[in-house]
Amino acid sequence: MERDPGRRVLAVLFAAAVGNAVLLLALLGEPTGWRGPRDAGFVAVAVGFAGAFGALTLLRNRAPRVALVAAILTVCGYYIAGLPSIGHPGVTLIRNASSNYMVQDVCFFLQELGVEVDGIGTTTLTVRGLSVIDTDVAFAPSEDPIEAMSLLTAAIVTGSELTVQRCPIEFLEIELAILAEMGLDFDLSPEYPAENGKTRLVDITVHPSELRASSDKIHPMPFPGLNIDNLPFFAVIAAVAQGRTMIHDWVYENRAIHLVELTKLGANVQLLDPHRIIVTGPTRWRGQEVISPPALRPAVCLLLAALAARGTSVLRDVYVINRGYEDLPNRLNALGAKIEVFRD
């Protein structure tokens, strides 16, 4: 057995980060206007492994103070380049780090292990590592803002009143600001701490509302901007709003194309290019048989639109939804939906 538990933790986390980088290599396509190597995935992996190699070299050499600069603002890049610093007893300064909820969760976990991490929630992290980590901890990751947004969207598109508890408000503030501008009526409870003692939670109650199109295009940005994983939900929300809304998914090469599938359920979605769509509402949803796209959030958008549709809808090939959500059909059924899971 490995004698140093700290290095065992480091090895597991580092292996997971490298695995994510390899997945990026397989999935990322060539971005529009790319002038460098043929596949952007090679760039992401090259940056990640370069950071990992450099960080591990610094770990081995025990440099007293090290500064790392992430060339690409990415969660995976932070994991790969930053995690080796926890076993480095000196000070590691990580600049241009992602500051979203996943990175913050990792930082909170490292603090539980005794690693000093300053600057959590900013783009500059100062890590004071330990040469040996030998402690037992119990840790609860923070609540998922994407899950919360999924349930909020279900209430919005079906015109229902729903309270979603334990929502991490820090990671939903921009989404709620856009929804408020579109006319959504909602209430927030007083804030209270998550089980990790760090994340700020609220209960959000959504009321049936007459929505209007956003006055500006809706697009994602790195935290504290609109979460890239929450962007697709605004396509199905815009479909029930009065007027035309532009959705600009500038991060993913083809994901916006999958949102055009909402037209099969009655939405008016115009594809401008692989990154931009215009959604015109309101929509009179109708039941239909559709096949889930390979993208997780657009697939969930189809499911949520089907909840609002007249008649019966059949959604096939839902593996991607089951991969991203735990028992989502039964959780929606507990709220009053009528979803039957079947296998042909």
Whether 278 contacts 251, CB under 8 Å: no
Backbone φ and ψ for 282, nearest 5 degrees, come out as: -80, 170
Rounded Cα gap, residues 84 and 94, in angstroms = 12
Question: pLDDT tens digit string along 27-52?
Answer: 434 333 333 333 343 344 444 444 44
Question: pLDDT tens digit string along 268-287?
Answer: 999 999 999 999 999 999 99
Token pair listed for 113: 């292990």
Q: Please say if the pLDDT value at position 150 is more than 50.
A: yes
Q: Which residue has the higher pLDDT, 164 or 39?
A: 164
Question: pLDDT tens digit string along 323-333?
Answer: 999 999 999 99
Q: Residues with Cβ < 8 Å from 216, sequence gap 6 or more? A: none
Whether 240 contacts 157, CB under 8 Å: yes
Q: Please say if the pLDDT value at position 177 is more than 90.
A: yes
Q: Please say if the pLDDT value at position 75 is more than 70.
A: no
- 3-class DSSP state of 341: coil
Residue 344 confidence (pLDDT) = 79
Classify burial at 236, counting beta carbons within 10 Å of its beta carbon; exposed 0-12, middle 13-18, buried 19 or more: buried
N-term to C-term CA, the chain? 47
Residue closest to 287 by CA, chosen among 252, 320, 311, 257 = 311
Rounded Cα gap, residues 170 and 224, in angstroms = 8
Q: Residues with Cβ < 8 Å from 344, sequence gap 6 or more? A: none
Residue 125 confidence (pLDDT) = 87
Overall residue count recorded for the chain in this entry: 344
- 3-class DSSP state of 231: coil
DSSP string across 268-318: EEEEEETTEEEEEE----B--EEE--SSHHHHHHHHHHHHHSBS--EEE-T
Lowest mean pLDDT among 76-90, 107-121, 193-207: 76-90
Whether 210 contacts 237, CB under 8 Å: no
Q: In order of start, what are the domains of the chain with their CATH numbers?
A: 5-128 (3.65.10.10), 145-333 (3.65.10.10)
Q: Which residue has the higher pLDDT, 128 or 178?
A: 178
